[in-house]
A and B are shown apart, each in its own frame.
Chain A
Amino acid sequence: MADNVFIALQNNSEAQPIIEAIVADNDGAVVSESPGMVKIDVPGRLVIKRETVTEKLGREFDLQELHINLISLGGNIDEDDDEFILSWGV
């Protein structure tokens, strides 16, 4: 699908709560696991919410921590303190 956005994270225990949060917040998220990497495709728009990750992680989460385990992403980024959004919109 051409209008998919994606994010790829390292497959480790730190990224696990982020992956769970993405799956919980994005309908239609497709998770594909490769060795060492997890790629998540979502049609149209992908959102990572700080609040959801905080809940899954059990402590306060700063969205900037995302970058520690980030491998790659596809889409335009719209980011603030509470949400990290990928989409192809302008």
Chain B
Amino acid sequence: MTIDLKTASVKPLRRTFDHLAEKLGPDKNPTRYQEATWGLQPATNFHYRPTWDPTRELYDRERTAIVMDDFDDLVDPRQYYYGTWTIQRGKQQDSQEKNFDLVEKHGLLNGLDTNWKQRILALLIPLRHVAWGANTNNSFIAAYGYGAPVTSACTMHMMDHLGVAQYITRIGLLLGNNDPEILDIAKEAWMNEPQWQGLRELVELTMVTDDWCELFVVQNFLLDSYVHDLVFERFQAAAIEQGGVTILPMLTEFINEWRRESSRWVDAVLKRAAAESTENTAQLNVWIETWHPRVRDAMRPVAELAFPTQAARELAALGEAVSTRSAKLGLHGEAL
């Protein structure tokens, strides 16, 4: 007896959920990211308006001046959803922990020049409070924003900022021989020393900014650019070159990696929002024009702290970098 083996091929009737097929077309396979993100935003059947804002629905697309036909278009090029994000951050944390272990085990910070140590402490540690402000602001966007691509990415960004604050704290403790007093000194500086007051005022001002897209521009685009370019790129490069603090990039590895990666996301969101309409572009330009000078002024004393002799040049370079970046996104954004 012979047995004929036959294969039957069954063509699936549909490739994905209807709401994804509607957006992608029937013949496209969605990515996991699209499945995990699109269509999550509750949009109907809210019944009651919130008592804290009776003029709007619970989730309302009008909490920002930016108008999108579909807020699901503001996608994250990193394609982070909870799974991919935690796997990536887990890997990065492992690597960062190993760096800290190595530095501690071999006492790699022992020979550090006292002058440079003081400069790093004075500049870096108060940034814990800036990172915490960024954490709060992204939490605000996640709460009041519209469309899961932005709100979920901001939730992750919020936690990332908390991670950055913790790593800054770790660096402070490492430099301060595990004496938490170093953190109190930094907080004292943040609260009272004149060179931090401009930035502190700015951070507090962002915390009472109501439009979540505006806050996105100020916090994730302008402020992050200035702070991270100044401290973790320019100051760090100077510390290596002039102070021989070659160990610093090991301690800031995550911060730098994360910053490169997350700015790709911030750029993509702004570029897509600007491409939607000329009104959006104009609105984003107004926000950049309003806030860029404020951010620059607030950062001036911090730049002086980082570069006592050439702060003006450094600050101009930071502004230049932001302008180049916004020009690439179809926005103008000269520091006015």
A-side residues, CB < 8 A to B, are: 13, 16-17, 34-35, 55, 57-59
Indicate if the CB atoms of A35 and B9 lie closer than 8 Å: yes
Residues on A with C-beta less than 8 A from B29 are 16
Can you sample 8 A-B contacts with CB below 8 Å? A13-B32, A34-B9, A35-B10, A57-B79, A58-B78, A59-B78, A59-B79, A59-B88
Which of chain B's residues 182-239 have a Cβ closer than 8 Å to chain A?
A: none
Which of chain B's residues 59-103 have a Cβ closer than 8 Å to chain A?
A: 76-80, 88
Residue of B nearest to A57 (CB): B79
Residues on A with C-beta less than 8 A from B9 are 34-35
How would you classify the secondary structure of chain B's contact residues: helix, strand, loop or mixed?
Answer: loop
Residues on A with C-beta less than 8 A from B38 are none
Determine the distance from Cα of A59 to Cα of B32 in the docked complex, in whole angstroms.
Answer: 14
Question: If A16-B31, A17-B31 touch, does A58 touch B79 (CB 8 Å cutoff)?
Answer: yes
Residue of A nearest to B265 (CB): A58
Residue of A nearest to B7 (CB): A35
B33 in the interface, Cβ–Cβ < 8 Å? yes
B-side residues, CB < 8 A to A, are: 9-10, 29, 31-33, 76-80, 88
How would you classify the secondary structure of chain A's contact residues: helix, strand, loop or mixed?
Answer: mixed
Determine the distance from Cα of A67 to Cα of B300 in the docked complex, in whole angstroms.
Answer: 51
CB-contact partner of B77 in A34, A35, A58, under 8 A: A58
Determine the distance from Cα of A17 to Cα of B29 in the docked complex, in whole angstroms.
Answer: 10
- The 10 A-B pairs of least Cβ separation, nearest first, read A58-B79, A58-B78, A13-B32, A58-B77, A16-B29, A35-B9, A16-B31, A34-B9, A59-B78, A13-B31
Residues on B with C-beta less than 8 A from A35 are 9-10
Residue of A nearest to B80 (CB): A58
How many residue pairs at the A-B interface have CB separations less than 8 Å?
19
Residues on B with C-beta less than 8 A from A17 are 31
Determine the distance from Cα of A34 to Cα of B7 in the docked complex, in whole angstroms.
Answer: 11
Residues on B with C-beta less than 8 A from A55 are 77
Q: Which of A17, A35, A57, A58 has the most CB of B within 10 A?
A: A58
Determine the distance from Cα of A55 to Cα of B80 in the docked complex, in whole angstroms.
Answer: 13
Determine the distance from Cα of A59 to Cα of B31 in the docked complex, in whole angstroms.
Answer: 14
Determine the distance from Cα of A16 to Cα of B24 in the docked complex, in whole angstroms.
Answer: 15
Determine the distance from Cα of A33 to Cα of B137 in the docked complex, in whole angstroms.
Answer: 46
Indicate if the CB atoms of B33 and A58 lie closer than 8 Å: yes
Q: How far is the CB of A64 from chain B (nearest CB, A)?
A: 18
Given contacts A35-B9, A59-B78, 11 further A-B contacts (CB under 8 A): A13-B32, A16-B31, A17-B31, A35-B10, A55-B77, A57-B79, A58-B33, A58-B76, A58-B77, A58-B78, A59-B88
Determine the distance from Cα of A35 to Cα of B10 in the docked complex, in whole angstroms.
Answer: 8
Residues on A with C-beta less than 8 A from B88 are 59
Residue of A nearest to B11 (CB): A33
Residue of A nearest to B75 (CB): A58
Residues on A with C-beta less than 8 A from B80 are 58
Determine the distance from Cα of A57 to Cα of B78 in the docked complex, in whole angstroms.
Answer: 8
Q: How far is the CB of B196 from chain A (nearest CB, A)?
A: 36
Q: How far is the CB of B20 from chain A (nearest CB, A)?
A: 13
Determine the distance from Cα of A83 to Cα of B259 in the docked complex, in whole angstroms.
Answer: 28
Residues on A with C-beta less than 8 A from B32 are 13
Residues on A with C-beta less than 8 A from B78 are 58-59
Determine the distance from Cα of A34 to Cα of B88 in the docked complex, in whole angstroms.
Answer: 32
Determine the distance from Cα of A67 to Cα of B288 in the docked complex, in whole angstroms.
Answer: 46
Determine the distance from Cα of A9 to Cα of B33 in the docked complex, in whole angstroms.
Answer: 21
Q: How far is the CB of A32 from chain B (nearest CB, A)?
A: 11
